[in-house]
A and B are shown apart, each in its own frame.
Chain A
Amino acid sequence: MTVDRREFLSRTGKLLLLTGTAAAALEHVLAGRAAAAPGYAETEHWWGMIVDIDKCIGCGNCVRACKEENDVPREPYYFRTWVERYHVEHGDMEHPTVDSPNGGFDGFPERYASGDGSKSFFVPKLCNHCVESPCVQVCPVGATFRSRDGVVLVDKDYCLGCRYCVQACPYGCRYIDPRKHVVDKCDLCYHRITKGLTTACAEACPTGARQLVDLKDPKDPVHAFLRTRSIQVLKPQMATHAKVFYAGLDGSVR
Chain B
Amino acid sequence: MEAPTPRTALFKDAEHLARVAGLFLLGIGGFWVAQRLLVPEGFGQYGHYRPGALADKRDQPLVFAGRAACEQCHTDIAETKAKGKHARPACEACHGALALHASDPTVKPTRPDGRTLCLRCHAALVGRPSPFPQIDAAEHAPEGACTACHAAHDPGLGGAP
- Point out residues on A near B: beta carbons under 8 Å: 1-3, 12, 16, 19, 23, 27, 31-35, 37, 40, 42, 54-61, 65, 68-70, 85, 87, 107-108, 110-114, 120-122, 142-148, 153, 155-158, 187, 190-192, 194-195, 197-198, 200, 203-208
Contact call B42/A58, Cβ cutoff below 8 A:
no
Query: Measured between C-beta atoms, what is the minimum distance from B109 to chain A in Å?
Result: 14
B42 touches A32 (CB 8 A): yes
Q: Assess whether B127 is in contact with A112, with CB atoms less than 8 Å apart.
A: yes
> Taking the complex as formed, is B75 at the interface, i.e. its CB lies under 8 A from any CB of chain A?
no
**A203 in contact with B54 (CB, 8 Å):** no
A155–B35 touching, CB < 8 Å: no
Interface residues of B (CB under 8 A from A): 5, 10, 24, 28, 32, 35, 39-64, 66-68, 88-90, 92-94, 96-97, 120-121, 125-129, 132
Smallest CB–CB gap between B124 and chain A, Å? 8
Cα–Cα distance between A253 and B148 once the two chains are bound (Å): 41
Cβ 8 A contact of A57, one of B49, B58, B60, B128: B128
> Are B55 and A34 in contact, with the CB atoms below 8 A?
yes
Query: Would B56 and A157 count as touching, CB distance under 8 A?
Result: yes
Residues of B within 8 A of A144 (CB): 49
A-B contact count (CB 8 A): 162
- Using CB atoms, name the residue of chain B closest to A197: B66
Known: A32-B41, A203-B67. A16 touches B128 (CB 8 A): no
B104 to chain A, nearest CB (A): 18
- Closest Cβ of chain A to B88, distance in Å, is 6
Chain B: CB-nearest residue to A36: B55
Docked-complex contact A200 and B63, CB < 8 angstroms: yes
Nearest A residue to B68, CB-CB: A197
Q: What would 14 more interface pairs be, CB under 8 Å, given A34-B46, A108-B127? A: A16-B28, A35-B52, A57-B128, A57-B129, A59-B120, A108-B125, A145-B53, A155-B53, A157-B56, A158-B49, A192-B66, A197-B66, A203-B92, A205-B93
